[in-house]
Amino acid sequence: MKTIVSGARPTGSLHLGNYAGAIANWLRLQETEHCYFFVANYHMLTTGFLDVSQLHENTGIVLAELLAMGVDPDKVTLFVQSDVREHAEFCMLLSMLTPVSWLERNPTYKDLMDNLDQPELRTAGFLNYPVLMAADILMYKADAVPVGQDQAPHLEITREIARRFNHLYDGVLREPQAIHISPVLMRGMDGRKMSKSYGNAISFQDTPETVREKIRLTVTDPARVRRNDPGNPDVCSVFDLHKVFNPDEAPEIRHLCQTAGIGCVECKKRVAEKIAAFHTPIHEKSRELLAHPARLADIAADGAKKAAAVAADTMAEVREAMNLGI
């Protein structure tokens, strides 16, 4: 059994793309591995510190949706990052030995430096967020971390920090390996990558009626003008949904689309049925959890207690290795 660590940022309600790209993988991992999954609310502050008015609510929403999707607190340690204060202490200690040059070569940071529209994000916290990520991972001595291609450089910094710590002090940290997640292309209603920030996502807080309406309005192959025109499913957002939520029928849909054997209205209806069957129970269960905040708080508290026990052990080792205390 491997120890796995992974977090989800509380950007607000999760959407179908989040499920397909990350959470579906969590559900698989929880069956066979020893998993720590957390709502990464400290990470949210690295870019969202100017407006924290929704942070508390969004943290609850993401936790409720993870539970509703099937993340099982009896199988995994599920917690909210800021409930385990050791993450902040560990991040601070790891910052002491992390060269700034490692952080400056992080592609996300370099992109930001090139983006003059967001000068307010040039904070120490943003520069340092790969160290916070390292603290999250190294805290639980993860064997492996699921990463998409864009997160691979961050994991490499985590590995470098672990190596440097172990070299400087008495090695107590474990270098995690990457579990590479195959990218899932899921475009949103407007044909761009599904993302909350583009406003094109189908989220789990959308009502079933809104979900149907969003699918009805989703762009298809723009070259398919008439019902008799053959389509190209590879450029169509609706076909992305078929691949994930209607995989058994996707090959048939591909063929029918390419031969003009199905119209886009019918094609959308077919996937909307499948998505409704998947989405509605998650929507309803998460609404029910959110209506009982004390229950949600208990689940978060139990998870934090389990995580904090492990974090306390790691920090005791770290403090001793760094000769802290008297």
Contact positions vs ligand SF4 (CB under 6 A):
220-221, 224, 231, 233, 236, 238-239, 257, 262, 264, 267-268
36 has which bridge partners?
Answer: 5, 77
Distance, first Cα to last Cα, the chain: 37
Q: How many CB atoms lie within 10 A of CB 115?
A: 10
Neighbouring C-alpha atoms within 13 Å toward the C-beta of 188: 16
Based on CB atoms, which residue is closest to ligand SF4, 195 or 258? Answer: 258
The least distance separating ligand SF4 from the CB of residue 16, rounded to whole angstroms, comes to 16
Based on CB atoms, which residue is closest to ligand SF4, 236 or 244? Answer: 236
The least distance separating ligand SF4 from the CB of residue 209, rounded to whole angstroms, comes to 20
The least distance separating ligand SF4 from the CB of residue 219, rounded to whole angstroms, comes to 9
CA distances from 282 to 87, 161, 208, 218, 252 (A): 30, 38, 11, 22, 27
Based on CB atoms, which residue is closest to ligand SF4, 73 or 233? Answer: 233
CB within 8 Å of 238: residues ≥ 6 apart: 215, 218, 220, 264, 267, 268, 271
The least distance separating ligand SF4 from the CB of residue 221, rounded to whole angstroms, comes to 4
Based on CB atoms, which residue is closest to ligand SF4, 58 or 220? Answer: 220
Based on CB atoms, which residue is closest to ligand SF4, 16 or 61? Answer: 16
CB 215 within 8 A of CB 271: yes
The least distance separating ligand SF4 from the CB of residue 94, rounded to whole angstroms, comes to 47
The least distance separating ligand SF4 from the CB of residue 211, rounded to whole angstroms, comes to 16
Based on CB atoms, which residue is closest to ligand SF4, 165 or 239? Answer: 239
